[in-house]
Structures are given as structure tokens and as C-alpha cells.
Structure 1
Amino acid sequence: MISPQSSNYERLEGGLGPSRLGMRNIAWRRIILCLAVSVVVVLLLRPSPERVWNIKGPIWDAPVSIDIGHGHASPRPTDESPTPPVPNSPQHPRPSSHESDPDPSKTVFCAAPHSPSMPLVQYALMIDAGSTGSRIHVYKFHHCGPSPVYEYETFVQKQPGLSAYAGRPDDAAQSLDSLLDVAMRTVPEALRRCTPVAVKATAGLRLLGASQSADILDAVRRRLSTAYPFPLESRDPVAIMDGRDEGVFAWVTANYLMDTIRADSPRMAVPYAVLDLGGASTQIVFEPVFRQHEHEAKLREGEHRYELSFGGKEHVLYQHSYLGYGLMRARKSVHRLVDFVASLRNSTSTGAEIANPCLARGTRRVVEVEVAGSDPATKNVTMFGGDFSGFEACNDIVQLTLAKDAVCQVKPCSFDGVYQPSLMETFRNGKVLLLSYFYDRISPLLPPSSDTTPSSLPGPPPPKPLTVSSLAELAKDVCLGLPSWEQRWAGNPHAMQELADRPEYCLDLTYMYALLRSGYEIEDGREVEIGKQVDGTELGWALGAAIAMVGGELTCTA
């Protein structure tokens, strides 16, 4: 064995072979070795310009140009390096909101834009016209570097959504005024005429029908053009968003904010699978990994395939948007099925109440049931949770709504006959992130986090990881009614209030479990995460869509 203190060791480490010169040159070789080590240490400890740049917060690696029609995104190459931003010192803290921003017309990161042709600060307005409500995201960016850099957002929402104004397009357009007034208060006056705005409607208007939805969108476009100074986005400023882009933009937003797809993200970072549950539709997006020995070694061609270039990496995503399988539509499907079964028993006479196994025991609700081929097309029925209500009985009904027995033409399928690579086979170790109604229903029922309690000090144990089977356990306790609630959530008044105000909580949780377990076939023990915001930024598709908007040509109104 060669001793590390010998000159032979030094030569072997340098790839030179054993020395024949003896010990006489040890001193100068040690000096050279020490100098080399010092240089290496200095290089390793010196922060790279890219890391200094990106440490300031969420930053898009390059302007992204999204082809909405073809579902392809690619960053435009830049040859210039970003100019160093103003340090994030106590005198110049990074603002996290409009309220904490010392000057909304400027930025703490630099004093001048990277390119003289660009403004120092730019805002972008994205209105999410969903099925249950409309939401505005006012995003602030700066141009200290060659790419627009995201700083923070101002977020406000209201109900109902545009689809509630069927046949009244002008009223629908004016319903957005309160949101746009927020933008008027947030965006400095000097920047308003260079702040693009877009309205992207989702599943609610898709279900409304082509004629009525077109009338509403036309009225919204006129209202924006005549009543507000903001320029309309250059491409499809007011439109129904393609379900493909809705899911993929949500995937981009979440994984960017979670630091898994940026150019400086850890090399081994695995992007999250993003499952979004809205009112009228639900989306799934993930990046499957195929192993060569498997029967299916690559993602099949089709509308589900989405190729994305982002952060210097190529991603081949699987995505699908299930129209009609959002939470509110699932409720309607279950109620209609319960009413149909009751009608076979001749129990739907006027004034009769119907037992619904998906309502928590001891609760009642007047529900609107769709009636095919009748005028009016709906009727009100009082339903109640009886002694036989519970998770198992409700799950039996929910399973029927998922159409697991639909014909699967291209295998493997998830539900409703839709092709989907197996998450157990092609996404074995990746994390799963649940958004929107998943978060809204699950979060209030979870124990408060104790992450800040050191493990060495006495205190409550940290909460157990949330798994798919956790949803079934929550649903079981919720469906049993008030005595079960008091036993599990007696110390959580917020949870008790949520449950008391929502008789369909049992149905909602049961549907979520069935969607994950039976629909997407995610195993019971798989850990999942729920999310709503990251560092004050709303998760969802809006940020992904906004960066595509600000990365294009900047057009200002006169």
C-alpha cells in the first residue's frame, strides 16, 4: 500500500507514475499542490453569476414562445448574459406583494433595463374565467436581464363565473369590472397602456355551447377595448382555453415554482405530476419515464402528447383534460343517478325526500337535478343522508360515474376509455401535486402543521404524510355525520364550520378518492401533496400563460 505522504502517492494521484527522484523534490511539489488546492477552493466557493441571478426569486430562464394551436413551447435563445441585479439587502428587500413594494413603477433589482427597448417594469393581467367564478392575476415583471423576471402577483376572485350569464353577454362582460378595477389600482398609471390583458375561459363556457359562449366572449372583448386602457394580448386575447394548454401551463407553473424544471434546478430533480380538479373539468399532466424492457417503451402519439422545451431541457408530457369530470359536474352526475334509482321505486312524488348515500348522515340539501327531455330541464329535489349513508355506499355510486368499463381502444386506459400510461409503471418515484378543489376540500380537515416544533422538544408529533388512502379515511369519518365530526375535529372549529356548511363534503371526498384510486389508478399508499400557493403565488395555469404573453412583442395602446 502506498502511503499518502510519499512522493509516489503524489505522482500516482497526478497520473504520472512512481517517482525515481527520491525525496529531494518533496518540498516544492507540496508547494505546488497547496497552490493548486487553493485555486480549486476559490473557484468552488465563488458564486456563479447565474446562481446570484436566480437566488432573487422565481425567474423564467428564457422568454417562452408557446404555440397554442400545436401545444409546443420553446425558449427563444439569447446570446447575452443577464446584468447583475441590485443586491437583495435589508435596504432593498425583495417585495412579496403590491403592499410591500416601495415603488410599484420600479424594481429593487436594478436601476435600468437590460435592453433600452424594454421598460424597466412590466405588468401583465391574466383573467381566469372559470366555471364557478372569475379571477384576476396581476403579475409584476422586471427586465433587468434578457428574460422577463417574475416578482409577485396581486390576486382577487369573485363569483359567479361568466357561464352564469347565459343569454346576457353584456352583463357577463360588466361582471369583470370589479376585477379590472383592482388592476387599475395596482398598475401604475404610466404603465397601464403597456400592460397586456387576456381573458381565458375554461370548462364552464365550453359546456355553455358555441353560440352563447361566443356572444359572451365578444362582449368581454368590446368591454376591455372601450372601457380600460390595457392593450389586448396580440394572440387570442379573449378565448376559451384549450384543455391541453390549461393542464400544461399548470404543470409549468407548479414545477417552475417548485424548482424542478428551471435551468438551475437540481440535476436529479423529478418534476411533479400535476392533477387539477376544477368545477367542470379535471386535468392530469406528468412526464412519464419508459424503461426499454417494458412492453410499451414510449409515449403513444396523439392529442395527449405535449412536447415542451423549457429551461434548456426537452420534456415529453402526457396530458389529458376530462370535460364533465370536475367536482361540480360530478355532483350533478351523482344526484341524477340517485334520483333515477329513486324514480324506479316510485318515490319521487311531489314533496318526497330522497335518501342519498353521498350526503353525510343527518344532513339535508335541496339539489338541482337535470331532467333529460323535459321543460324545464331541471327540478329541485330534497335529499338527505340516512342511516345507510357512508363512504362505501357512496363510493359504489361514484364508481359508476367514472365509466371504468368504457371501451379502451389504445391500452392502457385510465377511465372513460382514455389512454394513459400507468403512473405505477412510468412515474414510480415522482411526487404528485393536487390543486384547486383538491386543496379546498382537503386542507381544512388536516391538522395544523407542526414543522416549526423541534423534534427534541415536547410537542405534538408531526402530521403523517398525506396518501391516497388518507382521502378514504377522511371520507369515512365525514360521511358518518356530526358524532364522527365531533370525535375527530372537536378541536378544529374551522373544520367543523366547513363540514356544517357543506352537506356534500362526503360526496366530494369520496369522488376525489375514486378519481385518484380507480380513475388514475394511483396506489393507496402513494404520497400526495396539496397546494394553493408557493411564496404568495397562486398555483394553476395563469402564471404559465402570462409568461408566454410577456415574452412576446410588447405592444402599447396609443
Structure 2
Amino acid sequence: MFFTTRSNNYDRLEGGLGPGRTSRKVAWKKFAMGGAVLIGLVWFLGPRSSVDLIPDLPPPGLEDAFPPIVHIPSTTTSSPSEDDADKTPATSPSSQPTLVPISPETDPDLLKTVHCTVPHSPDLPLVQYALMIDAGSTGSRIHIYKFHNCGPSPTFEYEVFRMTQPGLSQYVGFPATAAESLDPLLDEAMTVVPQSLRKCTPVAVKATAGLRFLGPKQSDDIINAVHQHILDKYPFPFPEKDGVVIMDGKDEGVYAWITVNYLLNTIRGDSPKDASPYAVLDLGGGSTQIVFEPEFGDEKADEGLKEGEHKYELEFGGAKRVLYQHSYLGYGLKSARASVHRVVQFMDSLRPGKNGVIDSMRMIHNPCLAQGTVKKVEIPMGEDDSVTVTMTGSDVGSFEACNRVLELVMAKDDVCELKPCSFNGVYQPSLMDAFPTGKTLLLSYFYDRVTPLLTADLSPDHPQPPMSISTIATLARQVCAGKTSWTEYWGEYPEVMDELEGRPEWCLDLSFQHALLVLGYEFGDAREVQLGKRIEGTELGWCLGATIAMVGGGLRCRV
């Protein structure tokens, strides 16, 4: 049987367009041409310094497609690798109770729960497990969740998390190999889930940005191979629909919003009546999402949330909610890097005597790399062609100069067909009007890039102190200024120095995050936000929210 991977928005996403946009691709060359003079005069004509070339290692081939699974000794996780695009962070208020038991190691009986002795409904088991595989752009991760049925709906107890690399999208042309790459994750589930419950433990595989970028035929081949492989080798049932799919970007954001606010106890049936849900901003490698519940006072009631795919009506915890959501495919951290490098290379090709020709032997000065650093960058030249160039931050790298490049990448002046817009021509109600004082939680790459530089002794399982968005700009200035600046601010932290020296794009990453929040979403620099990774050992992101929806849909067992 053929299992389609397309959601309603698949064709738009496949073409590089976010949900709700008109059918047009962003012509980055047009924006680059328009801004060439603006940026070029600032940093192309400045003094240059000589920098030794530092070659990157070649990308791994299929011979490296089966690295050992990354084992994490407890249910809490360490941060996956630097280019892991879909990591999920968290924060939690001190009032959030610890869930007991918190791991299989402290669970007195995997078949029972400490919360009750009989289920709320005789038709349900006392406990049940569910498996969610996040097939991200650079790796696949399994979340093994335990729930109990002491109440009218399944209640989350704890999770076990494991990951492996690379992601499914790296197996183009080898769908069977792609399917087999998930075996270490599913084998882990076989060790956690009691044998008597395996045939009633649903499994879902949801691919995100990585497979969205592949063509329909290539992604469908991988999705079908994964579905059949799990069906043939493992006892776990698939849910009635959407067992193995490419997830719509809007669902990714909304599920992350559910996860965060479920764990922070702002949307559950037992949540305090005055609890206000957090806005959730998730930054992955290939895409970024924003989800919040707009507030329209009486004077703004006539405006409300306009109709469109950005509008997401949700019934959860006994309440009906109307959310604003949008997923920007092509504005994840890795995609933003690629866009910046293309703009910089294109502008360099406009210099006198270049005539638009790429010289792979010549050093290209890039203001979004930290001063004194060098990076080999692959520039796409067509569908199946690319050229590798060497870029350097030289003495031109700086937060301010990088921001001028990011103004082009963000397409802030794109046509706004439905006003008001955030960036890239996308409708978004003003956060100043519709979410003026609400709390905001930043996930994934936001956490991974900012928290190492704060140097505070903070646990990822506990709340990070609120900080102003201007803190990100301050960190970006310090990082972009190069090693002398690093030594001044982080000289006593050798692990931070090692990270900065090994990653020239940290300057770009921080500058882009600030631009996304301030230039893109139009938060004020003084606005406070929180960073997070986990809540009481539970990874944040979309997985728990999607799993809660899956187990709440009824129990379906394999014969």
C-alpha cells in the first residue's frame, strides 16, 4: 500500500514556501542586487589582513551512515551535536511539581503507576506507552513516553530519549537503508516498553524540514520504506492516520506550544484559572516557528485574528483556543547561514573585474564570521552543482555589518498582501498589540547558542532567568569581535573558548537570532524572554504535544 507523505501544505513547503504564502520563491539575488551598494561600501573596501586557511573535513558519505547510537545514560539528555537542527529545549516555573517516578530506573513497576491502582475507565489499561520518532534534518530521535490513565485522559509521567545520526534525508536513493537507520531507536523502545504492552504502544514517525526539502518521489520512497520496515520488524501499531509522515510546519509549531504549556501547567484542565499560556518560538536547522494566543482587547476586538492558514483553532484542557502560528521554511539556523553566504558571495562577485564569476581560489570577506576566523562554504550553483569557496571574518566581522546582510535575507520589505506583516511578506498581528506582556519561551537553537555564553551555573532542567533580547545583541558583538574579545569575556572558561574557536559561524548565528526576534517578529530590544531545554527531564519541542494528541485519540492495538 502506498502511504502519501503530503499534508495540505506539502507543495508549498516543498517549493520553499511557508504555509499561507502566495506561490512565489524568494529571489535572493534580487534582494542582494538591491543592497549591494549598501553593504559593499561598508566592508568590501576596508583594509584586509592575511589569514591562514583552515580546511573543513569532507562531509561524511554513506560509508559513515551508521555511526554508533548516541547513548545518554538517563532520561535527561545532553545537547546533541552542533548541527543537530531540531533539538528541543525548555524552562519551567519553580511551582511545577516533580513528576514521580521520573525514569525507568526509579519506576518500581513499569506495568503500574504510583498515582492510582485502577484506571479511570475499565476500557483502558492502567498505564500505556507511546513512541514518537522525530526524523529531523540532521538526526533521528525517539521519545519513549509513559502515561497513566488515572484520570479521564492520559497523563504524562516520564520519557526516555535516544538519538542517532544522520537524518533520513541523508539517505536519498537508499530508502531501505534509511528505514534501517531507525533500528537502534526502536530497539531501545523494545527494552523499555514491557512485552505485554508492546502491541498496544503506538509509534509514529514524523519528519520535519530535512525531508521537506527533497522532491516528492524521493521523500515518498523513504517514508514508505520506513513504514513497511517498522510494520515487518516491530510489534508496535501505527495510529489510525499519520503514522509515518512529513509533518506540516504549522503542526510542528502548535505541538511544541502544547508541549510547553502542558508541562508549565497553563492549559490543562487543572491549570490555575489565571494562567496565561507562553508564546513559543522554536528555531531548528531548516525552519523556525512562532505560536502564540493573541489577546485582543475591546478597542481592538474588531480587528481580531484574520482568517487564513495562520489561524489554528484548538480545543485542549476543556477550553477552546485560537492560536496564531506560522512556520518559516528556509529560515532555520542552517538555512539562514546558507542564505547569508550566498548573499555575501554574490556581492563579492559584483566587485570590479569579477563580472559575476566565482573564484574558488580567492578569499571572500564575510562580515558574519567572527574576526580572524575562516570557513569553507559550499555555494549551490544549480540543482546538482556547487562550488566550495573560502570565507573569512578577517577584520570586517561585526554584529552591525552582519545585520546589514541579514536585512536582505529577512526580506523585511517584501510585499505584504495581508497587513500587518512580520517579514518575508507573512501576516502576523503585532506582538505589541496582541501579545504585549505575555511570557515568551525560546527553544532549540536559541537555547544552544545563547546559554553556553552566559557561563552561569544553570541546569537545563530548571528555569533560566528572564533576559532582555538585547542580551543576544551584546553577546553577538562580543563574539563577532574575535579572539581578543573572547579572551576578555570568556578567558576563564576554556570550554567556551574551544567552542568559539571551532565554530566561526557563532557570530552569524547570534546575529540572525537577534534579527529574527527584533527585525522579523518586531519584539522590542527590552522585551524579556526565557530560554529553555527541558522541564523536569522532559525534552521540549513538538514531540510530547503530538504524542498527547495521539494517545488521546483512543487505544488501537495490533492483533
User: Among residues 400, 410, 427, which one is paired with 1:419 in the alignment?
Assistant: 427
What residue in structure 1 maps to residue 319 of structure 2?
Answer: 313
User: Among residues 166, 177, 189, which one is paired with 2:195 in the alignment?
Assistant: 189
1:551 aligns with 2:540: no
Deviates more, 1:407-416 or 1:492-501: 492-501
What residue in structure 1 maps to residue 377 of structure 2?
Answer: 367
What residue in structure 2 maps to residue 493 of structure 1?
Answer: 494
Letter in 2 for 1:247: G
Q: 1:464 Cα deviation (Å)?
A: 7.2
Higher RCO (CA < 8 A, seq sep 6+): 2
Q: 1:173 Cα deviation (Å)?
A: 0.8
What residue in structure 2 maps to residue 355 of structure 1?
Answer: 365
CA deviations 1:229-262 (Å, max 9, x no partner) are 1111211100011111111111111011111112
What residue in structure 1 maps to residue 133 of structure 2?
Answer: 127
What residue in structure 1 maps to residue 297 of structure 2?
Answer: 291
Q: Is the partner of 1:98 in helix, strand or coil?
A: coil
What residue in structure 1 maps to residue 160 of structure 2?
Answer: 154
Q: 1:295 Cα deviation (Å)?
A: 8.4
Letter in 2 for 1:254: V
Q: Is the CA contact (8 Å cut-off) linking 2:360 and 2:390 kept in structure 1?
A: no
Deviates more, 1:358-367 or 1:442-451: 442-451
What residue in structure 2 maps to residue 31 of structure 1?
Answer: none
Q: Is the CA contact (8 Å cut-off) linking 1:361 and 1:387 kept in structure 2?
A: yes
Q: Is the CA contact (8 Å cut-off) linking 1:132 and 1:160 kept in structure 2?
A: yes
What residue in structure 2 maps to residue 100 of structure 1?
Answer: 106
Q: 1:105 Cα deviation (Å)?
A: 2.0
What residue in structure 1 maps to residue 450 of structure 2?
Answer: 442
1:429 aligns with 2:437: yes
Q: Is the partner of 1:208 in helix, strand or coil?
A: coil
Paired with 1:364 and 1:301, the residues of 2 have a C-alpha distance of: 47
Letter in 2 for 1:205: L
Letter in 2 for 1:478: V
Distance 1:213 1:464, change over 3 A: closer
Q: 1:116 Cα deviation (Å)?
A: 2.5
CA deviations 1:92-122 (Å, max 9, x no partner) are 9921112221222221222232222211221
Q: Is the partner of 1:341 in helix, strand or coil?
A: helix
CA deviations 1:424-459 (Å, max 9, x no partner) are 1110110111001111111111131479xxxxxxxx
Paired with 1:246 and 1:507, the residues of 2 have a C-alpha distance of: 25
User: Among residues 229, 232, 236, which one is paired with 1:230 in the alignment?
Assistant: 236
Gaps of 5+ in 1: 1-67, 71-91, 452-461
Q: 1:146 Cα deviation (Å)?
A: 2.4
Q: Is the CA contact (8 Å cut-off) linking 1:348 and 1:354 kept in structure 2?
A: no
Q: 1:198 Cα deviation (Å)?
A: 0.3
Give the share of equivalent positions with the same residue, in percent.
60
Paired with 1:325 and 1:450, the residues of 2 have a C-alpha distance of: 29
Paired with 2:269 and 2:101, the residues of 1 have a C-alpha distance of: 24
Deviates more, 1:234-243 or 1:336-345: 336-345
What residue in structure 1 maps to residue 535 of structure 2?
Answer: 534
Paired with 1:534 and 1:361, the residues of 2 have a C-alpha distance of: 37
Letter in 2 for 1:293: E
Distance 1:276 1:464, change over 3 A: closer
Paired with 2:474 and 2:197, the residues of 1 have a C-alpha distance of: 51
User: Among residues 391, 403, 408, which one is paired with 2:411 in the alignment?
Assistant: 403
Paired with 1:223 and 1:450, the residues of 2 have a C-alpha distance of: 42
What residue in structure 1 maps to residue 65 of structure 2?
Answer: none
1:212 aligns with 2:213: no
Paired with 1:132 and 1:535, the residues of 2 have a C-alpha distance of: 26
Paired with 1:69 and 1:477, the residues of 2 have a C-alpha distance of: 44
Q: Is the CA contact (8 Å cut-off) linking 1:93 and 1:108 kept in structure 2?
A: no
Q: Is the CA contact (8 Å cut-off) linking 1:447 and 1:463 kept in structure 2?
A: no
Paired with 1:332 and 1:93, the residues of 2 have a C-alpha distance of: 41
1:393 aligns with 2:394: no
Distance 1:296 1:503, change over 3 A: farther
1:115 aligns with 2:121: yes
Q: Is the partner of 1:334 in helix, strand or coil?
A: helix
Paired with 2:285 and 2:309, the residues of 1 have a C-alpha distance of: 23
Letter in 1 for 2:495: H
CA deviations 1:126-148 (Å, max 9, x no partner) are 00111121111000011222211
The number of residues matched between the two structures is 458
Distance 1:311 1:497, change over 3 A: same
Q: Considering only CA atoms, is the larger Rg found in Structure 1 or Structure 2?
A: 1
Deviates more, 1:418-427 or 1:307-316: 307-316
User: Which aligned runs of 4 or more in structure 1 are off by greater than 3 angstroms?
Assistant: 462-465
Q: Is the partner of 1:138 in helix, strand or coil?
A: strand
Q: 1:174 Cα deviation (Å)?
A: 0.9
What residue in structure 2 maps to residue 517 of structure 1?
Answer: 518
Q: Is the CA contact (8 Å cut-off) linking 1:291 and 1:297 kept in structure 2?
A: no
Paired with 2:446 and 2:284, the residues of 1 have a C-alpha distance of: 9
Q: Is the CA contact (8 Å cut-off) linking 2:464 and 2:530 kept in structure 1?
A: no
Paired with 2:447 and 2:333, the residues of 1 have a C-alpha distance of: 12
What residue in structure 1 maps to residue 477 of structure 2?
Answer: 476
What residue in structure 2 maps to residue 245 of structure 1?
Answer: 251
Q: Is the partner of 2:377 in helix, strand or coil?
A: strand
TM-score normalised by length of structure 2: 0.79
Q: Is the partner of 2:178 in helix, strand or coil?
A: helix
Q: 1:349 Cα deviation (Å)?
A: 2.3
TM-score normalised by length of structure 1: 0.79
Distance 1:311 1:93, change over 3 A: closer
Q: Is the CA contact (8 Å cut-off) linking 2:442 and 2:531 kept in structure 1?
A: yes
Q: 1:366 Cα deviation (Å)?
A: 1.1
Letter in 2 for 1:503: P
Q: 1:463 Cα deviation (Å)?
A: 9.3
Gaps of 5+ in 2: 1-6, 10-97
Q: 1:308 Cα deviation (Å)?
A: 1.1
Paired with 2:285 and 2:531, the residues of 1 have a C-alpha distance of: 17
Q: Is the CA contact (8 Å cut-off) linking 1:365 and 1:503 kept in structure 2?
A: yes
Paired with 1:548 and 1:325, the residues of 2 have a C-alpha distance of: 27
Distance 1:195 1:468, change over 3 A: same
Deviates more, 1:347-356 or 1:197-206: 347-356
Q: Is the partner of 2:213 in helix, strand or coil?
A: helix
What residue in structure 1 maps to residue 47 of structure 2?
Answer: none
Q: 1:350 Cα deviation (Å)?
A: 3.7
Q: 1:548 Cα deviation (Å)?
A: 1.2
User: Among residues 263, 271, 291, which one is paired with 2:269 in the alignment?
Assistant: 263
Paired with 1:385 and 1:198, the residues of 2 have a C-alpha distance of: 43
Distance 1:541 1:465, change over 3 A: closer
Paired with 1:208 and 1:520, the residues of 2 have a C-alpha distance of: 28
Q: Is the partner of 1:293 in helix, strand or coil?
A: helix
Paired with 1:426 and 1:114, the residues of 2 have a C-alpha distance of: 39
Q: 1:294 Cα deviation (Å)?
A: 3.4
